[in-house]
Structure 1
Amino acid sequence: MSRQQRDALDALLRSAPRTETPPTVEEQRDGFAAAVARPAPDGVVTRSTRLGGRPALELVPDTASGRGRLLYLHGGGYVIGSPDTHTGLVGELALRAGLRAVSVDYRLAPEHPFPAAVDDGLAAYRELLATGSDPRETVLAGDSAGGGLGIATLLAARAAGLPQPAAVAVFSPWADLTLTGGSIRSKKAADPIFAEADLRAYADLYVGPGDRSAPLASPVFGDLCGLPPLLVQVGANELLLDDAVRLAGRAGADDVEVTLEVGPGLPHVFQHHHGRLQEADAALDRAARFLTAHLGAGHPPRP
C-alpha cells in the first residue's frame, strides 16, 4: 500500500500545471494556500494571537498536559505560506506530541527581505521566554524555508545570549540559499515539485544582492556549536536532499546531537500528506517522540 501511496502522490504532484509566464507573488501565495492548506485535526482548538509583535496562530490539542511549548515556523521559500497554510501539519504534530503550539506569521519577501524573517523568529522566541516559557520545556520545529529559519533563529538566539530550547526538528530544511548542494542537479528528474529556477527565484526575492552564504540565510555554512538536539527529516526525491544531509553533517561536526532520516521515494515536506501517506504519519510520530523525549523531565507522546 505504501508504494502505491508514494506513486500516487508523485503523479499528483507532477500533474500541477506550470505556466510559461511566471505567476505573480500573490498568485503563488493563493495557489500554495489552495494546494496545501488543511484544517486542524479533531481534538485541536485554534485561536488567533500575537507573538513577538507578529500575528500568530495558537493550537491547543486535547492531549496537552500544560507542560511544554512548540514554536513552529512555516515553509514557503520565505515568500509564500502562513500559519493558515500549515494549520493541519502543525496541528498534527502538536496533537501527537501533546504540546501547545504557536505558529508565527513572520514577515515575507519581497515586501520584507532578509533578515526580517530571522528578526521575527528571534522576537517570537524571545517573547516566549520572557512570558514564562522554560527553555527546557520549549521545542522548535519548521519545514522547508521554515526549517532553515528555525536553525537561523537559534543562531540569532545564541548570539543574543538567550538559552537554547530543549530540541529542534526540521522537515526538508532549505539551509543553503547559494544552491550549491549536489542534489539541486542530481535530483532534477526525481523531484516532482521544484525546478532549480523556482528555488533561485525565491532566493532572489528574499536575499537579493546580499550574501546568500551568511549563516542566518544559509545555516549550513554556520557554526552550530551549542545548538540543541536536532532531528532532520527529508525525502530522497527532492532537490533539497543535500541541504538536509549537509546540515546534519555540520551539526554533527559541531558536537550537536543530531538524527538524520531520509525517506526513500518521498518528496519535499512529505509530512504535509499525513492521513494519506503512511510515511508521513510515521515521520510525524517520530518527530513528536523526538521533541517530547528532550523536554525537561520527559513527556510521553500521544499513543
Structure 2
Amino acid sequence: MKVAPRFGPGHRVLVTGGAGFVPSHLVDSLVARGCAVVALDNFVTGSKDNIAHLHDKRNFTLVEADISDGLPTHHPALAERFDAILHMASPASPTDFATLPVEILRVGSVATLHLLDRAVADGARFLMASTSEAYGDPKEHPQRETYWGNVNPIGVRSVYDEAKRFSEAATMAYHRYRGLDAAIVRIFNTYGPRMRPDDGRAIPTFISQALRGEPITVHGTGNQTRSICYVEDLVRGILLLLDSTETGPVNCGTEHELTMRQLAELIVSLSGSDSEVTYVTRAADDPEMRRPDLTLARELLGYEPSVAPEDGLRRTIEHFRERLG
C-alpha cells in the first residue's frame, strides 16, 4: 500500500517539542514539503542548534513556551487554525526520568489534554507520539500493538511509561467520543544525529565513551536486546501515519535486534576506538527485550525501514565526532 502526502503547501502544522532530537527531524521534513510549520518548545531538553538552520525559512516559526501551561494563543503563530498537530514533546531519556519526573507526567497528561482540545476545535489531525515503553518489560516478543504490556506503575521509569499510556488513552477517548481525527505511533529505540551526548541512553553513551577512549559501560550482562532504528527511517514512518487515515496505535521502528554487548562492540569497531567494554549494575526495570512487530505498519502504511545499523551508526558517530571535537 502506498500513502499519498496529505499535508503540504497551504497546510499549517504544529509540532510540540520541535527542537528535540526526533521532532526537529520531523520539522525539517514538513518544512521541506512546504507546510507552514510552528515548532513549540520550552528548551528543557530541546536545543536551538537543532533548528537554527530553519530560521530564515518563511514557512517556519519557533515559539518558546511550555505546552503544559497551555497554548499561548496571544502569539500570532498560534492564533490561527492548524491542519495537523503532532504532540512530540516530552523528556524521554533515562536521566530525565530521575531529574524531570513531574515535568514528564505533566506533558503526558495536562499538555496532551490542552492539545486534544485544540485539535478538536480546529478540526485538525492529531498525532500522538507514544513509545515502546508502553509495553514495559514485555512478556511477548516481538511486541504487537494488541499487547497490553507489562509495566511497573511506580518504578523510576513509570513517569514516562504511564504518561504515555495516559496520553494514548486520552487520544482514543477524544477519537471515540469527540470525533477527533487521531493517530498514535509507538516509537521504538531511535538514534541518529542531534541526540544529546548526555542523553543516558545506550547509543549516545557508548559513542561518547568510545570517542573519548573511555571504558564502554554496559549495564548488566549485556544480553538484553534492543531494535535500533535510524531517525530517517522513523520520520518516514511517522509521516506515513500522519498522511494516512489510520488511527492505530502503530509500531514504528526496525527489526534490527542487537544485544547491548553486540551494540557496544559494533560502536567500538566503527569508531576506531580502543575502548574496552565493561559491565556495571543493571538499572531497575530495564527491559530484557524490545523489538516491534511491524506487520501493521507494513500492511496499513507500506512502511519499510531501510537504513542498516552499520550505516546509521557510522553517520551518528561522525555527527558526535564533530560535536565533541
Identify whether the pair has TM-score above 0.5, normalized to the shorter chain.
no
TM range (shorter): 0.3 to 0.5
With the length of structure 1 as denominator, give the TM-score of the two structures: 0.36
Task: Report the TM-score when normalising by structure 2.
Answer: 0.34
